[in-house]
Amino acid sequence: AAPRHDPDCLFCRIIAGEIPSERVHEDDRVIAFKDLHPQAPVHVLVVPRAHRRDVTELAEDPELLAHTAQVAADVAAEQADGEFRLIFNTGASAGQSVFHVHAHVLAGGKLAEGAL
Ligand code: 5GP
Ligand code: ZN
C-alpha cells in the first residue's frame, strides 16, 4: 500500500495543511489546488492524497486514476467551459519536478501547442 505521508514531500505537506494552498476541491481520496505558477487561465493540480511517485504508480490503482481524471473534468467544468488539457509529467526529463503524482488541469482559453 502507498504510504500516507512523507514529511520530505512538498505535496504531502500541502495535503497535511503544513503549507498553504488555494484549494478548489477536496474529498477523501484527492485534493485539487491552484498551481503557484499558472501556465493557463485555469491551472489546477489534482493530487491523490496517498503518496505515489508518478502516474505509473497511480495506475496500479485504476479506480483512483479514474477518480483523479473525473475530478479534473469537474474542475474544468466549474472553472472554465469544461474543455481542458490533462498532463502527468513523468520523470525529470519529461519535466516532473515534484515526485508526488499530480495531474495538471489546463483550461480557460486557447492553449498553446506544447505547453508544459
Ligand atoms: P511538475 O513540474 O512536477 O509536473 O509540476 C509541479 C508543479 O507544482 C509546477 O507547475 C509548480 O509550479 C507547482 N508548484 C511547485 N511548488 C508549489 C507550491 O508550493 N504550491 C503550489 N500551489 N504549486 C507549486
Ligand atoms: Zn507525497
pLDDT at 3: 65
Block residue for cell numbers 486514476: 65
Q: What is the ipTM of this complex?
A: 0.99
Q: Is residue 22 part of a domain?
A: no
What single letter denotes the amino acid at residue 116?
Answer: L
Q: Is residue 34 part of a domain?
A: yes
pLDDT at 32: 98
Active site residue 100: no
Contact 83, 41 (CB under 8 A): no
Write the burial class of residue 106 (CB in 10 Å: 0-12 exposed, 13-18 middle, 19+ buried). buried
Q: Which residues does 36 contact at the CB level (< 8 Å), separation at least 6?
A: none
Q: Is residue 21 part of a domain?
A: no
How many domains are there within the chain?
1
Distance of CA 88 to the CA centre of its chain: 8
pLDDT at 49: 97
Is the C-beta atom of 97 inside 6 A of ligand 1?
A: yes
Is the C-beta atom of 89 inside 6 A of ligand 1?
A: yes
Spatial separation of the C-alpha atoms in residues 14 and 41, rounded to whole Å = 22
CA of 98 to the centre of ligand 2 (A): 9
pLDDT at 5: 83
CATH of the domain at 49: 3.30.428.10
CA of 36 to the centre of ligand 1 (A): 6
Q: Is residue 9 part of a domain?
A: no
Expressed as residue numbers, the domain containing 54 is: 28-107
The torsion region of residue 78 among left (phi > 0), alpha (psi -120 to 50) and beta comes to alpha
The mean pLDDT of the chain is: 95
Q: Model-level pTM?
A: 0.95
Q: Is residue 47 part of a domain?
A: yes
Ligand with minimal distance to 55 CA? 1
Query: Closest Cα to residue 76, out of 104, 38, 95, 53?
Result: 104
Q: Which residues of the chain have pLDDT under 50?
A: none
CA of 5 to the centre of ligand 1 (A): 18
pLDDT at 115: 55
Q: Is residue 12 part of a domain?
A: no
Q: Which protein residue has the closest C-alpha to ligand 1 atom 19?
A: 36
